[in-house]
Amino acid sequence: MSERPLALVTGASRGIGAAIARALAPTHRLLLGGRDTEVLSRQAAELPEAEPWPVELTDPDAVREAAARIERLDVLVHSAGLAELGTVERTEADSWRRQFEVNVVAVVELTRLLLPALRAAGGHVVVINSGSGRTARAGWGAYAASKFAARAFADALRAEEERNGLRVTSVFPGRTDTEMQQAVIAAEGKEYAPGEYLRPESVAAAVLSAVAATADAHPAEIILRPRSH
């Protein structure tokens, strides 16, 4: 077995998660998390020492079973996410629940189950948050609330686990050119303009820099914004 460190990336089938997996591939063994086994298998075939990790993150039993097979984990990247826009008036409780289930509860539970493996490796947890995790705008209430909660979770985890050798980094990208972003723009009734957004590879580069930080450094937060044109 390779002695390279092991990284698990959720949401690895597309967008930012896929870009992060590609960025980590030269230095890490990879578990590619997602729901589409076919897509994950194709990606794994293109990367050295990568394998699919097809798990429904909102299924507690499936997550528990899959996490139990990981004894040592160097990097855990939470990139899976869900965004449903709407005003407070028009956003029903089910939408709030869905977004909190994916963006908060699934992140918390997977991390909790993997803490022994992360502690064994002196590992690194990276939470891909959002600009909405720092500023809530009209029409983004439920999504922003879930991302504020994810930020609070990362802060608490960092405070609790630093003594166990873990590092926890929250990454706050501005709008990024992904399929999810295109859907959000369509929901807002705006015109898609690719040059105005970050590239997924830019976010991945920031994650890689955090993971590669020297042992004396703890990159707690990274804030990225698209460069003005």
Q: In this predicted model, what pLDDT tens digit does every residue of 187-203 receive, in sequence order?
A: 666 666 666 788 999 99
Mean pLDDT, all residues of the chain: 93
Tokens at 151, concatenated: 């930020």
Query: How confident is the model over 164-176, as a mean pLDDT?
Result: 93
Residue with tokens 């939408």: 95
Query: How confident is the model over 2-23, as a mean pLDDT?
Result: 95
Rounded CA-CA distance 9/24 in Å is 10
Q: Which CATH number fits domain 6-224: 1.10.3720.10, 3.40.50.720, 3.20.20.30, 3.40.50.150?
A: 3.40.50.720
Q: In this predicted model, what pLDDT tens digit does every residue of 128-163 receive, in sequence order?
A: 999 999 999 999 999 999 999 999 999 999 999 999
What is the reported pTM? 0.93
Query: How confident is the model over 35-52, as a mean pLDDT?
Result: 96
> What pLDDT, on a 0 to 100 scale, did the predictor assign at position 229?
46
**Where in the sequence numbering do the catalytic residues fall?**
143
Q: What are the residue ranges spanned by the domains of the chain?
A: 6-224
> What pLDDT, on a 0 to 100 scale, did the predictor assign at position 174?
86
Helix residue spans in 122-170 (DSSP H):
141-161
